[in-house]
A and B are shown apart, each in its own frame.
Chain A
Amino acid sequence: MGFTLSNQQQLLSKIATGTGHGENTPYFDGWKAFDSDPYHPTTNPQGVIQMGLAENQLSFDLIQEWVLKNPEASICTAQGAKEFKDIAIFQDYHGLPEFRKAVANFMGKVRGNRVTFNPDRIVMSGGATGAHEMVAFCLADPGEAFLVPVPYYPGFDRDLRWRTGVQLLPVACESSNNFKITRAALEDAYEKAQKANIRVKGLLITNPSNPLGTILDRETLKSLVTFINEKNIHLVCDEIYAATVFTQPRFISIAEILEEEDVVCNRDLVHIVYSLSKDMGFPGFRVGIVYSYNDAVVNCARKMSSFGLVSTQTQRLIASMLSDNEFVDRFIVESAKRLEERHTKFTEGLEEQGTTCLKSNGGLFVWMDLHKHLKEQTFEAEMALWRTIINEVKLNVSPGVSFHCPQPGWFRVCFVNMDDQTMEVALERIRHFVLQDKEAAVVAMKKKKNCWQSKKLSLSFNHRRFDEVNMSPHSPIPQSPLVRAT
């Protein structure tokens, strides 16, 4: 029986054949470049250094040491094997009670024990990736929307939208005020949705922020709570970078805001997404958590967690590890200390070259401002610069456009997923590029002056380029249609 191409296409779902997986974006292109030519200090010193992966590799020695000292935490060792069978057959989607208790304990400690978490509200998921999709399935129907402040983690486009049919609508945040989330921007985004007949079901924030590496202050958090209560929409707080905040101002969790006396909030609207992928550096173990203050959501999410439960082998290990209070307390402090050291080294190294980043105190990356190096203040120029950085400077960094950043020139640069030496090599490469680019800019300026005087090129074109080169770093960008987030 013969089939036309369109028949063949229809045999698979639109979800399967479309591009909703989001993997055709530049965020992932850089990874492909890295995969084909990965840096290695001895075997491939000219390779691409991976700076597009927000991994925390600084504190494995502490964990390794703990694992060696605690063989009973593994069900496969002589000491732990007596539990092998019970663990292997346990498939209750409530999860091992000791796992939930240990995670609740850890979450509390990461927040300085200023709040406590109820283990019965802890629901497992397949990493934070699975958690976000699950929350979207619980809170919204296809066609409904979540508001998300820009710039935001590119994976949200897939996690919240792909299979759920939910929409993401940006809340405009500008570099001119360090991407603060303002009440005006929230109202604006909400109104736009109303006008377009799109029902807004919630607001999604990431705090600490990916890609900014900054935390939300108390005032902003309270204003978000006021906003969602007024509109009767949900607030989903992705707090997966909570323990990566290494210096003042300290991290404030939404859980703390809810306990404040002057805060009025319908708790049924508040949900936290958590994970051990960033704070502990365990992305491979797929430990995602949904913590909801809404009983119906806990109930529904728990049933949905069947699609992405945490392996009980891993639950057992984590339960053991995170119940060891002495270890946890030591780990949290030491991890933050190492993050601070690394952050300082990296940002100081950058400043020496005149490269600036958004001032940050958390995350596993910096939000680097390279707009001075753009040929023009457009996203095409950003893409061109990015290709240069990957192919010539040999660093995989993530361009701001993939984070829906409203202004071109920003790049997220990860620096915690490598050792000290590799970081030095990366800094050196950036230094070299910045120098070269400065020299090239000077040469270009000289050339332009000559062209300007020769009158051979169209005046208007040259005029604009001249202006842009002389613009101060923080003045508003000329209004190209690409600047506005859609």
Chain B
Amino acid sequence: MCMLSTKATCNSHGQDSSYFLGWQEYEKNPFHEVSNTNGIIQMGLAENQLCFDILKSWLAKNPDAAGFQRNGESIFGELALFQDYHGIPEFKKALAEFMSEIRGNKVSFDPTHLVLTAGATSANETLMFCLAEPGEAFLLPTPYYPGFDRDLKWRTGVEIVPIHCTSSNGFQVTETALTEAYQEAQKRNLRVKGVLVTNPSNPLGTTMTRNELNMLVNFVEDKGIHLVSDEIYSGTAFSTPSFVSVMEILKERKCVDDNGCSELWNRIHVVYSLSKDLGLPGFRVGAIYSNDDRVVSAATKMSSFGLISSQTQYLLAAMLSDKKLTKNYISENHKRLRQRQKKLVSGLQKAGISCLKGNAGLFCWVDMRHLLRSNTFEAEMELWKKIVYEVRLNISPGSSCHCTEPGWFRVCFANMSEDTLDLALQRLKAFVTEYYNIPEVNGHHQTIRLNHSRRRSLTKWVFRLSFDDRSPIPGR
């Protein structure tokens, strides 16, 4: 083989991680409601499939957007030629307004500060190219979305230093953890350029508290570094506490005008996308919002490498400009997500499994620590393999999200029908019953060895949870 670049031959694209291996197994044997009922159910993909009927009914009523027409006249040529990286103005305006609406109109977004990119994948990478040199670092709270290892680091050469969060306080970011991460970076001789958070969090399914956000803003202000807030799940915050955007925090600090914190204002950037809120990952619609003109300018030029198809911009401009649609969609989306999450949580409970109390996202952060043979990541992998191959559910192990505690799994609930979710929960319950509730171990179901006392207390605990309608372990 002849010489390729280092980037091509290394593996920092991150695709050898278990997150992606589970997908591969799923691809080999995918569940289908009719043709492959024994297949693997995909619960590792954070998709939102709950509200397509709303979009389709809008499309049926709005033929113009569908047929490349404006007021009945064909604009195909105009669209096909439109490659201005500033984007279609109507689209940016509609997107900015949609972002505002999701935040209860508590903040507004200036379309001229919005940069369109081919998905949040591209937005995050582009921001790294703009904010950091190769070898510099961003701090990220763990657990975090596995794709960040590729998106933030691969081609940019930027490093990620984790901010360790634990279940002791529901994985919230603490000042201690932040400071420790910063010091760790310094020990490794890495210049820290910023902090990147996902809010609402993937994989936790929770929104950040005001305290956390203020603490983060104070931290970046003190250190003179950037804060990137990936808010792609902002429209999926379906129950209290309500979602608070970092832009709201800034507004509360009155950082809009030039009164001393405008430099801070320039160092806060938001990433958005329509992949989760609207369930349109295939359309590749991402955006960077920055208050810094230079970042907007540089990122806009970089967006040449991944612009949004004008065909898609046009359709979505029409859709998002329809305020009746957006209002209805946002509230209906919340309602359906809330119902679906409840179903998953209660189904897990019946299997003796609890989750971090979540109020957002398309997944639950599930606590299976009690099912581990030992408190190790090897045991987590063992359990995960069993769940993928035997229970035939593809869920994401916490280690792939860089969680510091073994035993946590991300389980998605919005990318399947209700019936499929029921089936998945049945399978899980059967698995737990089979492996953990049988008092005598006589060699038949011997894949997990537990020491005698632990097994007994485990069994008791599992039985108790099965028959109690106790709420999940409180996290927030």
Could you list which residues of chain A lie within 8 angstroms of chain B, going by C-beta atoms? 1, 3, 7-8, 11-17, 21, 23, 55, 57, 60, 63-64, 67-68, 71, 74, 76-78, 81, 84-85, 87-91, 126-127, 129-130, 133, 137-142, 144, 158-159, 162-163, 201, 232, 234, 266, 268-269, 277, 281-286, 294, 296-297, 300, 303-304, 306-314, 317
Q: Cβ of B155 and Cβ of A77 under 8 Å apart? A: no
B56's contact among A81, A158, A306, by CB below 8 Å, is which?
A: A81
Q: Cβ of A84 and Cβ of B224 under 8 Å apart? A: no
From residue B336, how far is it (CB to closest CB) to chain A in Å? 15
Q: Cβ of B310 and Cβ of A284 under 8 Å apart? A: yes
For residue B429, CB closer than 8 A to chain A, the reply is no
CB-defined contacts of B304 to chain A, threshold 8 Å = 126-127, 129-130, 158-159
Which of B7-15, B204-212, B349-357, B401-409 is the interface stretch? B7-15
CB-defined contacts of B301 to chain A, threshold 8 Å = 21, 23, 158
For residue B367, CB closer than 8 A to chain A, the reply is no
A284's contact among B9, B82, B121, B150, by CB below 8 Å, is which?
A: B82
Residue in chain B with minimal CB distance to A77: B66
For residue B381, CB closer than 8 A to chain A, the reply is no
Residue in chain A with minimal CB distance to B305: A130
Q: Cβ of A67 and Cβ of B5 under 8 Å apart? A: no
A16's contact among B9, B76, B79, B294, by CB below 8 Å, is which?
A: B294
For residue B34, CB closer than 8 A to chain A, the reply is no
Q: Name which of B67, B81, B151, B298 has the most chain A CB atoms within 10 A of its CB.
A: B81
- How big is the B interface, by class? 35 or more
From residue B371, how far is it (CB to closest CB) to chain A in Å? 31
Residue in chain A with minimal CB distance to B301: A21
Judged by DSSP, the binding face of B is helix
Q: Cβ of B52 and Cβ of A311 under 8 Å apart? A: no
For residue B308, CB closer than 8 A to chain A, the reply is yes
A85-B52, A281-B80, A309-B284 known; 11 new pairs, CB 8 Å cut-off, are A13-B131, A84-B52, A89-B415, A91-B282, A126-B118, A130-B306, A138-B7, A283-B82, A284-B80, A286-B306, A303-B13
CB-defined contacts of B284 to chain A, threshold 8 Å = 91, 309-312
Q: Cβ of A15 and Cβ of B280 under 8 Å apart? A: no
From residue B308, how far is it (CB to closest CB) to chain A in Å? 7
From residue B272, how far is it (CB to closest CB) to chain A in Å? 17
CB-defined contacts of A74 to chain B, threshold 8 Å = 66-68
From residue B394, how far is it (CB to closest CB) to chain A in Å? 15
From residue B332, how far is it (CB to closest CB) to chain A in Å? 16
Which of B122-130, B167-175, B181-189, B230-238 is the interface stretch? B122-130
Q: Cβ of A126 and Cβ of B81 under 8 Å apart? A: no
For residue B55, CB closer than 8 A to chain A, the reply is yes
Q: Can you list the 7 inter-chain pairs with the closest CB atoms, starting with the nearest? A: A76-B66, A312-B282, A284-B310, A308-B306, A16-B298, A311-B309, A126-B306
The A-contacting residues of B in range 1-28, CB under 8 angstroms, are: 1-9, 13, 15
B311's contact among A7, A23, A158, A313, by CB below 8 Å, is which?
A: A313
CB-defined contacts of A137 to chain B, threshold 8 Å = 5, 7-8, 155
For residue B418, CB closer than 8 A to chain A, the reply is no
A296's contact among B1, B15, B74, B83, by CB below 8 Å, is which?
A: B1
CB-defined contacts of A300 to chain B, threshold 8 Å = 4, 7-8, 13
B295's contact among A16, A304, A317, by CB below 8 Å, is which?
A: A16
From residue B58, how far is it (CB to closest CB) to chain A in Å? 10
11 contacting pairs across A/B (C-beta < 8 A): A16-B130, A89-B49, A142-B134, A286-B118, A286-B309, A300-B4, A306-B119, A308-B306, A313-B283, A314-B309, A314-B311
Q: Cβ of B312 and Cβ of A7 under 8 Å apart? A: no
Q: Cβ of B80 and Cβ of A312 under 8 Å apart? A: no
**Complex Cα distance A63/B81, Å?**
13
For residue B65, CB closer than 8 A to chain A, the reply is yes
**Complex Cα distance A129/B306, Å?**
8
A309's contact among B2, B8, B119, by CB below 8 Å, is which?
A: B119
Q: Cβ of A201 and Cβ of B3 under 8 Å apart? A: yes
B282's contact among A76, A88, A138, by CB below 8 Å, is which?
A: A88
CB-defined contacts of B52 to chain A, threshold 8 Å = 84-85, 88
For residue B200, CB closer than 8 A to chain A, the reply is no
Q: Cβ of B131 and Cβ of A12 under 8 Å apart? A: yes
Q: Cβ of B49 and Cβ of A85 under 8 Å apart? A: yes
For residue B143, CB closer than 8 A to chain A, the reply is no
A91's contact among B8, B224, B281, by CB below 8 Å, is which?
A: B281
From residue A202, how far is it (CB to closest CB) to chain B in Å? 10
From residue B51, how far is it (CB to closest CB) to chain A in Å? 10
User: Given A163-B155, A307-B122, A313-B282, is A1 in contact with B76 using a C-beta cutoff of 8 Å?
Assistant: no
For residue B95, CB closer than 8 A to chain A, the reply is no
From residue B48, how far is it (CB to closest CB) to chain A in Å? 9
Q: Cβ of B131 and Cβ of A138 under 8 Å apart? A: no
B4's contact among A71, A129, A139, by CB below 8 Å, is which?
A: A139
Q: Cβ of B308 and Cβ of A311 under 8 Å apart? A: yes
Q: Cβ of A60 and Cβ of B306 under 8 Å apart? A: no
From residue A20, how far is it (CB to closest CB) to chain B in Å? 9
**Complex Cα distance A419/B457, Å?**
82
From residue A310, how far is it (CB to closest CB) to chain B in Å? 7
For residue B63, CB closer than 8 A to chain A, the reply is yes
A285's contact among B3, B281, B309, by CB below 8 Å, is which?
A: B309
From residue B414, how far is it (CB to closest CB) to chain A in Å? 11
B125's contact among A144, A294, A307, by CB below 8 Å, is which?
A: A307
User: Given A81-B59, A283-B80, is A308 in contact with B294 using a C-beta cutoff of 8 Å?
Assistant: no
From residue A130, how far is it (CB to closest CB) to chain B in Å? 5
User: Given A81-B60, A126-B306, A312-B282, is A60 in contact with B295 using a C-beta cutoff of 8 Å?
Assistant: no
A269's contact among B2, B47, B77, by CB below 8 Å, is which?
A: B2
A7's contact among B224, B281, B283, by CB below 8 Å, is which?
A: B224
**Complex Cα distance A170/B295, Å?**
32
For residue B215, CB closer than 8 A to chain A, the reply is no
Q: Cβ of A84 and Cβ of B295 under 8 Å apart? A: no
B294's contact among A1, A17, A141, by CB below 8 Å, is which?
A: A17
B129's contact among A7, A13, A81, A84, by CB below 8 Å, is which?
A: A13
